[in-house]
Amino acid sequence: MCLTEALKAEMRQAPIGEFCPEYFRGMGYQSSTATTPACKRADGIAALLARPVPHIYQNDLIVGSIRPLFVSLTDTERQAARDAIAPFPERRFISNKDHYAPDYETVLSVGIGGLLSNIDASKKAHAGDEKALDLLNAMARTLRALQEMLRAYAQRAEALMGTAGYNSGRLAAIAERCLAIVEAAPKSFAEGLQLLWMIHTCFLYEGRYAMAFGRLDQLLYPLYRRDTDSGALTAPEATKLLENVFVKICERRFYRNADDVVNICIGGVDADGQNAVNDLSYRILEAVRNVNLPGPNLSARIAPDTPDDFLDACLKVIGTGLGYPALMNDTVNMAALRRYGYDEADVRNYSMVGCIENFITGRQPPWSDGRFDTPRFLEYALLDGEGFDKGRKGLKPPPPAELDSMDALMTELERQLAHGVKEYVEDFHAKNVIRDPENHTSPFLSCFCKPCIERGRDINMGGAKYPSVHGAVLMGVGTMSDALAAIEQVVFIDKAATLTDIADAMRQNFVGYEKLRHRLLAAPKYGNDHPLPDKYAVWFTAFLADEFDKYRTHDGGGIYIAMAANISNIDAGHRIGATPDGRLAGEPLSDAASPTYGRDKTGVTATLLSLAKPDYTRCACGTVVNQKFYPDIFEDGKRQKLLSLIRVYFAKGGQELQINATDTETLRDAMEHPERYASLVVRVSGFSALYVTLDREVQEDILRRTQQK
């Protein structure tokens, strides 16, 4: 068994006890003598990082594991831990806790010791500023705990030498690497990877989710190049080190039946705007292919001068069935980010967090987003301000009979949407603003955001170079485009029904209106390069981008729009009644930026031509377009056609593409015989997963995707 498979086998052995990081953090709070919230919190983090006994797998090359956080507790101990942490509440996703791409470039350049020196310099610059000094002391405390953690792992590696099942040579290398990076900047590829993974492990200890690695091929390439040029490292050895880390990214999945969407970005352009693909980009692709697990969430930036060889290498990995990397159009994404005034160097260095969210790497607070279900506003416009979800209401509209033209209907729909956007932003602000920010600092995270150290400010309190941003995730572009096209076709072109008929049919879920539903279903649909529905997708993107652009986050950042459902189109559909496209009440909405599944019937070229028409430079967050191809398209000799199609799609303005290489027959069989398909990985939306572990509704949603040839 190879090292990678052996490590997977080890991780399938469940740890004893329960996952309880608060037990260790609580120890730190209880023993802390600090008098300020920031330093108290730092003591809690320090105990969390330094007190658990390190765990080293027999097949580890790079160390750092969440396994030490599993402990056996009595009810009394568990409650005591909860009581200890209660005075120190954590931020949540909506209030900028995680989904972040750290500034790893600085720590790779100067080391932990260099960061501590930068803190000392900042303390001198901020002499007399008690708040700044307090935070800087807290930051230094957490970095020293990281150093303690590295020393503890080195000591553990040395203690395990000679133990049955362990390789003493590997343990010696682990110990040497950990000690080498306690103070100094890493001098080898392995040291650099170890430093990044240990910091990432610390974020997991803190309870942060979807923490990205940023542009890993750019971050580690100087060390990789130095080692390979000197002969200290071979490309296969680098791949094995990467595989070791990528298996461990899935540790939560093995232990806690929980995912962790760890985005890694490769490719794109460099600081001068030139092609940035390098040999390490290919090693990362090779490593994820060999690991063959749903994580990490790999994203490939594709620019006009990105080599075809790199895009082809991406397609080869996608063709294995992993469904990643997701392919990102650099031209569109950078144009979208420039709208918000970021420095060009920062735009060119963007990466992704979470599923597909564009992020200014290490220069802004953590990401947040929320869901905006657009079809319910069409319900409000046609159904007297009410919808299927009785807990919500829209504005009072005119009766359908008074909406005597498509323009009149669109005016009312825009009024409903504008009101909905205003309500959404008000609700977001109410949830996003922290009432006592001094008790919600993030001293460790702030060490990895520029220029928090120089400013002496927390990442969420003015320390970051840029303000926070928020993503409004728009649900149902396909549903809305189809519905509006159907209304225009059936009511205003064919005059085969009235808007009142449509409204009555929606209320009855088309019971008794089957002929009308048939007409609506027969109207042109988005995803077939037809101008009627496509113009509504163009309108949808532009209008909602304009509306959300009227608002800002609490600290002045933009509110981006996104079209990325991440299976929420299923839940959103449960809350929305029948729609004028012929969709029945409770059925899923269209997924992300994709057409409604099964309605794009004229081939993949027509589908992508439709999808390229909206102006995605208005979608600074990003979009998700899911496509499903038969596996044989990825064979040598056929793959070039798909590569050329992607190039055309991106040249015409498409923003993102992700592909499942599977067939409907396989997916159906996996639903019936899950025991035969334990390792079947599929692209769900902005992430990949093991197909047989998905809920039935999600499996069926993937099954409905049009099978492209």
Nearest partner of 185 among 104, 244, 246, judged by Cα = 104
Cβ count near 402 (within 10 Å): 11
Q: What is the pTM of this model?
A: 0.95
Res 190: pLDDT: 99
Copy the structure tokens of residue 282. Answer: 């290919």
Return the pLDDT at 305: 98
What does each C-alpha distance from 53 to 8, 65, 318, 348, 571 come to in angstroms? 21, 10, 39, 41, 42
> What's the sign of the alpha-carbon dihedral 659, 664, 670, 671?
positive
Tens-digit pLDDT profile for residues 395-406: 999 999 999 999
pLDDT at 276: 99
Prior bond of 296 cis (ω within 30°): yes
CB-count exposure of residue 227 (10 Å: 0-12, 13-18, 19+): buried
Point out the residues of the chain with pLDDT beneath 70: 256-258
Amino acid at 122: S
pLDDT of residue 456: 99
According to the model, what pLDDT value does residue 6 have? Answer: 95
Neighbour tally for 12: CB within 10 Å: 9
For 223-228, the CB contacts below 8 A with 24+ separation are 223/108, 223/186, 223/187, 223/188, 223/189, 223/191, 223/192, 224/189, 224/279, 224/280, 224/283, 225/278, 225/279, 226/188, 226/189, 227/188, 227/189, 228/279
Which residue matches tokens 């027509």? 606
Q: Which of 283, 128, 272 is nearest to 193 (CA)?
A: 283
Instruction: Kindly state the tokens that stand for 470.
Output: 């928020």
| 3-state secondary structure (DSSP) of residue 459 | helix
Write the DSSP string, 86-120: TTSPPP-GGGT-S-B---HHHHHHHHHHHHHHHHH
Q: What is the pLDDT of residue 708?
A: 82
Contact residues for 413 (Cβ-Cβ < 8 A; gap 6+): 377, 378, 381
- Check if the beta carbon of residue 381 is closer than 8 Å to that of residue 374: no
